[in-house]
Amino acid sequence: MLFFVTCTFAQKPAPAPVITYRNPVIAGDFADPSVIRVGNVYYAVGTSSEWGPAYPMYTSKNLVNWEYIGPVFLDMPDWTMGSFWAPEFFYRNNTYYIYYTARRKSDQKSFIGVASTKDLKKGFKDHGIIIEWTNEAIDAFVVEDKGKLFITWKAYGLDKGKDIELLGAELSADGLKMVGQEFSLIKADAAGWEGGGAEGQTIFKRGNYWYMLYSGNACCGEKCDYQVGMARAEKLQGPWKKFSGNPVLFGDDTWKCPGHGTVVVTPDKRYFYLHHAYSGSDFTFGGRQGVLSELVWDETTQWPAFRYGKTTPAQAESPSNILAIDQADFSVNYEKDSLQIPWVYDVKYQKPSYSIEGDALRITANEHQPVSNFLGVVVKKGNYDFTAQIGVLEDLNQNIVVYGDSENALGFGVREGQIELWQIKDGEYKVLNKQDIPDKYKIIDLKLNSRFGRFYEFSWGVKGQKVDSASPVKMEASWLPRWDRAPRVGINVSGKKQGKSDIRSVQMKYN
């Protein structure tokens, strides 16, 4: 007799799919990011260099999807003139602090100021300079130890005969004054991988040790070779021991020249380093973008290491299993839309005068300075189409502009009867191409197509009509990126008479 027995085996559930993100997490020019976690919400702030409003801020619930919430300063602090670098976010006793670097008007030296607020939506109150140190003090980082506040900074970068050094000192309880004697953390090694530089430090504690990530070598521009080192100490005041395997993070073809960021710990105790790096495809034309790298721990040696090796990951496991959302495109029709574009401007000039009147954006022209009223946006990716629909005016050029600085810009504009492509290179204005257009065309679409942020095609058209004579103009502008920042794209108005623009719509679409 045969017996058949049916057996049921419990199947293991399939492993949950790993949710990943792709770098950058904060696209576009967002150097020297500082990040804090308040409860379950993260806040980040970054360098704005010579752009206003100063210091863009973002918020996120997962470190991957970030939303722009505004600048630290709508109006520049009175003592400053530019070089708005390396802001440090700090939170204590229901108060947000920004310790920031800026260049002083009176002597053009860079020092560290501080501002605070109880409510990010209401803006920050500036308290002025907190560290004035020889010829330069930059890159503040604040940490709390046993109830006391300490500030650290980079010193002696412009002092002849002195090695660059990271210093620290105690702060007052309210965080607004330096009250303690300075002490040394580390000195830069001119003969080693640091290349004589040490900056952009972030300090955090785990177990019995204080840990520091810091950056060395050249930060910026096409010849950059930025890298990240690591050190630790049992006491904040030291002695600090540099890791024998430095550098622990360096560039590759995907992400170049990584460094200068902040370590933040998630609620489930994962350690992430939000820092900057140049995209390998767009490079300096896209600026130093906000990228995320995870640290993991060797419990035997008590040293951390980057989870995906010594280069910035292109793709990595997401914090909190959250999918990334791309929200870079925008389109505004001023006749019906209320979206406020986060315009930036060159702090060399006064903030441009503009308003939305009727069905158009009205920018006030300045007859003496052709690019002083430029309004731009941060470019998130090198491949994009930027379009503006413009009501043609008789005496004013209305332009779409790629803007490096006041001495280097590229514009494509229209006035009655004429389309014109022009450039300002090393301060010299030059018309590159002119084209006559019929007077019957009263509304013109100007379009810029960009490839990798450096190859441009300018074209124009009339909505709903075929214009045979509207041939595009192509060119490369490799001279536009500045040493420490990327070009912006936007709009302006210029001419020999006072007046206001008639810009009906603006659109950015990334490819």
Q: Which residues are catalytic?
A: 32, 199
Place of tokens 């600048």: 71
With CA atoms as reference, report the closest residue to 213 among 197, 200, 224. Answer: 200
Q: From CA 276, how far away is CA 289, in angstroms rounded?
A: 5
Q: State the DSSP H helix or E strand holding residue 476, giving kind and residue range, or none if neither.
A: strand 473-476
What 3 state SS string does 279-308 have? ECCCHHHCCEEEEEEEEEEECCCCEEEECC
Please tell me the distance from the alpha carbon of residue 56 to that of residue 124, in angstroms, as a whole number. Answer: 12
Classify residue 61 by its DSSP letter.
Answer: S
Query: What is the layout of strands, in order, in the sheet containing 137-145?
Result: 137-145, 148-155, 165-170, 183-187
Distance CA 459, CA 474 (A): 9
Residue 108 near residue 65 (C-beta atoms within 8 A): no
Token pair listed for 454: 């450096």
Between CA 351 and CA 443 the distance in angstroms is 27
- Number of helical H runs and strand E runs in the chain: 0, 38
Helix (H, G, I), strand (E, B) or coil at 234: coil
For residue 364, count other CB atoms closer than 10 A to its CB: 14
Residue type at position 457: E
How far, CA to CA in Å, does 509 sit from each of 165, 297, 328, 375, 420?
44, 41, 8, 18, 23
DSSP label at residue 171: B
Contact (CB, 8 A) for 196 and 189: yes
Q: Give dist(CA 273, CA 303) in Å, integer.
A: 15
CB atoms < 10 A from the CB of 236, how many? 20
Tell me phi and psi for residue 433, to 5 degrees.
-160, 140
Residue 146 CB: number of other CB atoms within 10 A?
5
